Chain A
Amino acid sequence: GDSVTQMEGPVTLSEEAFLTINCTYTATGYPSLFWYVQYPGEGLQLLLKATKADDKGSNKGFEATYRKETTSFHLEKGSVQVSDSAVYFCVWYSGSARQLTFGSGTQLTVLP
């Protein structure tokens, strides 16, 4: 069935390190893809999105490119900060089902 698979955590990095969190999806058709972020004690917030193949979403130094050929939407950031410590969810939207499908989340901790 339809699903999202993302890199398991937790991930611990030093400040200014490069971040990659892998995400692949299995879906019929071409869903819209999102990364949501959950800071400690808060609800989820949209980080970035891409609605069609080869689109690149970007926000706050994070980027992800919608790769149809590899069904992937990997999240990257060139230089992480302590304030980026959070849980990151890869999510896709099925227009037919009008629902979001969530990956299991990746806990990121950035150390000073």
Chain B
Amino acid sequence: NAGVTQTPKFRILKIGQSMTLQCAQDMNHNYMYWYRQDPGMGLKLIYYSVGAGITDKGEVPNGYNVSRSTTEDFPLRLELAAPSQTSVYFCASRGLSETQYFGPGTRLLVL
């Protein structure tokens, strides 16, 4: 049982480039989330999904897109990277309880 996995662990992007952050969970959880964590701050919710085919915006969705074609996968897409998107990105999932399970994070640097 791997839990929540994220790839890559670290990435450097140039301004204007695009990339997809991958997230997968093997716990058959319906709920999945994407957060960003800026230095010295708590986590901010970017997007979330309550099941395959259903996604919704969180607190800071601008500049990002998501899709949820399967229960297991919840990729986060950055179309035109900007320096303000330099952050650590965490994916999380949960089942019926309120407890969320987090992946190890992806550190993104936009230069």
Q: Which residues from chain A sit less than 8 Å from chain B, CB to CB?
A: 4, 32, 34, 41-46, 49, 51, 89, 93, 95, 98-100, 102-105
Q: Which of A44, A46, A98, A105 contacts B31 (CB 8 A)?
A: A98
CB–CB A43/B42 < 8 A: no
A-B pairs under 8 A by CB, number:
50
Contact with A along B26-53 (1 / 0, CB 8 A): 0000010100000011111100101000
| Chain B residue contacts of A41, Cβ below 8 A | 104
The total of chain B residues at the interface (CB under 8 A) is 22
Q: A44-B102, A45-B102, A49-B98 are in contact. Are A98 and B42 (CB under 8 A)?
A: no
Q: Which of A46, A51, A93, A102 contacts B42 (CB 8 A)?
A: A102
Q: Does B90 contact A (CB under 8 A)?
A: yes
10 pairs, CB–CB < 8 Å, chain A vs chain B: A34-B98, A43-B92, A43-B105, A44-B90, A44-B92, A98-B48, A99-B48, A100-B43, A100-B100, A105-B40
Q: Does B81 contact A (CB under 8 A)?
A: no
Q: Which of A43, A44, A99 contacts B58 (CB 8 A)?
A: A99
Given A43-B102, A95-B98, A102-B44, 18 additional A-B pairs, CB 8 A: A32-B98, A43-B92, A43-B104, A44-B43, A44-B100, A44-B102, A45-B102, A46-B100, A49-B98, A49-B99, A51-B98, A89-B43, A93-B98, A99-B45, A100-B45, A102-B42, A104-B40, A104-B42
